[in-house]
Amino acid sequence: MRLATIKELLASKNLLQEVTIKGWVRTFRSNRFIALNDGSTLGTIQCVVDFENFDEELLKKVNTGAALKITGTLVESQGRGQSVEIQVSALEVLGIADPEEYPIQPKKHSLEFLREKAHLRIRTNTFAAIMRVRSTLSFAIHNYFRENGFNYFHAPIITGSDAEGAGEMFRVTTLDEKNPPLTEDGDVNYKEDFFGKETNLTVSGQLEAEAYAMALGKVYTFGPTFRAENSNTSRHLAEFWMIEPEMAFFDLDANMDLAEDFIKNVISYTLTHCQEDLEFLEKRLIDEEKSKPQAQRSDMPLIEKLKFVADNNFKRVSYTEAIDILKNCKPNKKKQFTYPIEEWGTDLQSEHERYLVEKHFKCPVILFDYPAKIKAFYMRLNEDGKTVRAMDILFPGIGEIVGGSQREERLDVLKEKIKELGIDEKELWWYLDLRKFGTAEHSGFGLGFERLVLFATGMGNIRDVIPFPRTPQNAEF
Ligand code: 4AD
Ligand code: MG
């Protein structure tokens, strides 16, 4: 007999059939009602045992967390809360879960407690819902690009370049840490390392994606990226997943259009395909916010917020306009920002980004044309000589969710920039080749996948939307 999933059975109209299912016990009430979950859906199926007909010792093993195989008849449910249930004829305990030791008992656990049990937290409704939404979003992303003529490109994980120039990289080496080979000057001699040079885990697949866009036209990466920035915030991970589309012949406007359409599309897809999980997460958020003062609560329930983003245009504002708004806003004048906005050219902090999105515009915002000084070397210089064709997308509750730009495609301008920043031209020889041979206008962006999952699930901490988070001082599991 084919093993049915609980999701199929809960939707089944085919009553009185004999079924076999396997899953884990959520609760066992009155020695009679087992609520079984198998991960296929949020819900549990009620399995009714006539305890008179079963061995007492066997039923003692039916504890929360135990794995069971159950055979029985699917019948209309007598009780409330479910349409069907299983009248159990045979029950096998596949794996016990000692209630004295198993930490995921049917009661409220804090997210902090569950973080310490990342290998088991997925057995709670909250984490199972988050991870199903995460999986659906991944699928929606691949689907979107496939339908829009993109090729999926696998960027290397180990690289010799620092795409963002921020120097926040994890070194990859096989040298003996206690006794590394040294140069005459006493530095570590990476020529003797595995790759014959210094290498690190990638911070972004963009540079390599540019090479591929200049042949395949439209490509995207979707893979892990690594940053050794020591920011212990609810928005930063040391290992996170990034989606990086890169398009030949796209200018910044086309890039912004694509980014906006892309985000709306994957959110709509998730609204359609994860309704039950999103309803659950919406209720969870409302419960969580009950203990907060009104001012800190979300102004829209989760699903309404997702629909709002999917249905409304993002506001497009230049950096210069944004600075004017920020300079003159109340919190700046009242000195409520930790980093006061004084002059054009300063980098925006998340408190500023969130003010623009949550208080001023009250919708997602795309900021563009940033000062060259605060952005990466590869962004295209504007006619004014001081701003670059950069764009960041800012989201309510999240801050920056996307960073992108039109790329500098002019060899001479790019070389000049590299020199100015003191980067060794030789290290970027292949990147410069792209400007020598068949160069053309091109653009792209990077979406932080976990920040998107944060937004879609209404969760507050990025550690709760990736299976096994890597953050400073934390690489357990
Ligand atoms: O703005 P970033 O640094 O842009 C780039 O890496 C470009 N190379 C992208 C491109 O144009 N192809 O990073 C892009 C996004 C950010 O907007 C943010 O959503 C996410 O990646 N991100 C992080 N997410 C989690 N933890 C971190 N430490 C992150 N750093 C960036
Ligand atoms: Mg950025």
Measured CA to CA, the distance from residue 401 to residue 394 in angstroms comes to 6
Is-contact 317 360, C-beta < 8 A? no
**Rounded (10°) CA dihedral 392, 395, 396, 397:** -90
Any long-range contacts for 323-327 (C-beta under 8 Å, 24+ apart)?
Answer: 325/356, 325/360, 326/352, 326/355, 326/356
Report pLDDT for 113: 97
Rounded to an integer, what distance in angstroms lies between the CA atom of residue 436 and that of residue 412? 10
The domain ranges of the chain are 6-95, 125-167+203-464
Q: What's residue 338's pLDDT?
A: 95
- Atom 30 of ligand 1, residue of closest alpha carbon: 236
Three-state DSSP class for residue 82: coil
Identify the pLDDT of residue 34.
98
Q: How far is the CA of 138 from the centre of ligand 2 (A)?
A: 21
pLDDT reading at 163 higher than 90: no
If you measure from the C-alpha of residue 132 to the centroid of ligand 1, how many angstroms do you get, rounded to a whole number? 23
- Which tens digit of pLDDT belongs to each residue from 333-377? 999 999 999 999 999 998 999 999 999 999 999 999 999 999 999
Cα–Cα nearest to 318, from 373, 380, 365, 364: 365
Q: What would the two tokens of residue 244 be? A: 């990086």
Q: Which of 369, 370, 362 is nearest to 395 (CA)?
A: 362
pLDDT confidence of residue 1: 59
Q: Which ligand is nearest to the CA of 442?
A: 1
Q: How far apart are CA 371 and CA 116, in angstroms?
A: 42
- The rounded distance, in Å, linking the Cα atoms of 106 and 104 is 7
Question: According to the model, what pLDDT value does residue 162 have?
Answer: 78
| Ligand 1 atom nearest to CA at 244 | 12
pLDDT digits (tens, 9 = 90+) for 374-397: 999 999 999 999 999 999 999 999
Which of the residue ranges 162-166, 230-234, 235-239, 319-323 would you say has the lowest mean pLDDT?
162-166
What does the pLDDT look like over 100-139, one tens digit per residue?
A: 999 999 999 999 999 999 999 999 999 999 999 999 999 9
The token pair at 15 is 């009553």
The ligand that comes nearest to the alpha carbon of residue 447 is 1
Residue 396: name the closest of 314, 286, 275 by CA.
Answer: 314
Return the best residue to mutate from 153, 240, 375 for the ligand 1 pocket (most ligand atoms within 8 A of CB).
240
Mean pLDDT along residues 274-301: 94
pLDDT the model gives residue 166: 76
Q: Whose CA is nearest to atom 7 of ligand 1?
A: 446
d(CA 54, CA 93): 12
pLDDT confidence of residue 82 = 80
399 lines ligand 1 (CB under 6 A): no
Rounded to the nearest whole angstrom, what is the distance from the C-alpha of residue 159 to the centroid of ligand 1? 17
Atom of ligand 1 nearest to the CA of 246: 12
Question: If you measure from the C-alpha of residue 423 to the centroid of ligand 1, how many angstroms do you get, rounded to a whole number?
Answer: 21
Q: What is the pLDDT of residues 64-90, one digit of tens each?
A: 999 999 999 999 988 777 889 999 999
Give, in degrees to the nearest 5, the angle at Cα 133 between 247 and 243: 20
What is the best residue among 451, 462, 463 to mutate for testing ligand 1's pocket, by most ligand atoms within 8 Å of CB? Answer: 451
For residue 446, how far is its CA from the centre of ligand 1 (angstroms)?
Answer: 6
- Which ligand gives the minimal distance to the CA of 405? 1
- CA–CA separation, 438 and 441 (whole Å): 10
How do residues 296-311 score in pLDDT, each as one tens digit?
Answer: 888 899 999 999 999 9
What type of residue sits at position 373? K
- For atom 6 of ligand 1, the residue with the nearest CA is 204
Is residue 267 within 8 Å of residue 248, measured between CB atoms? Answer: no
Closest CA to 24 of 39, 42, 10: 39
Provide, rounded to the nearest whole percent, the portion of the chain with pLDDT above 90: 92
- Contact (Cβ atoms closer than 8 angstroms) between residue 277 and residue 42: yes
Is the pLDDT higher at 411 or at 79? 411
State residue 164's pLDDT score. Answer: 82
CATH class of this structure's domain 125-167+203-464: alpha beta
Residue range 6-95, CATH number: 2.40.50.140
DSSP 133-194: HHHHHHHHHHHHHHHTTPEE----SEES--TTSS----EE--S-TTS--B-TTSSB-GGGST
What's the rounded mean pLDDT across residues 283-307? Answer: 93
| H-helix segments, 61-124 | 111-115
Report the distance separating Cα 444 and Cα 198, nearest Å: 27
CB–CB of 365/357 below 8 Å? yes
439 burial type by CB count under 10 A (0-12 exposed, 13-18 middle, 19+ buried): middle
Encode pLDDT of 452-468 as tens digits.
999 999 999 999 999 99
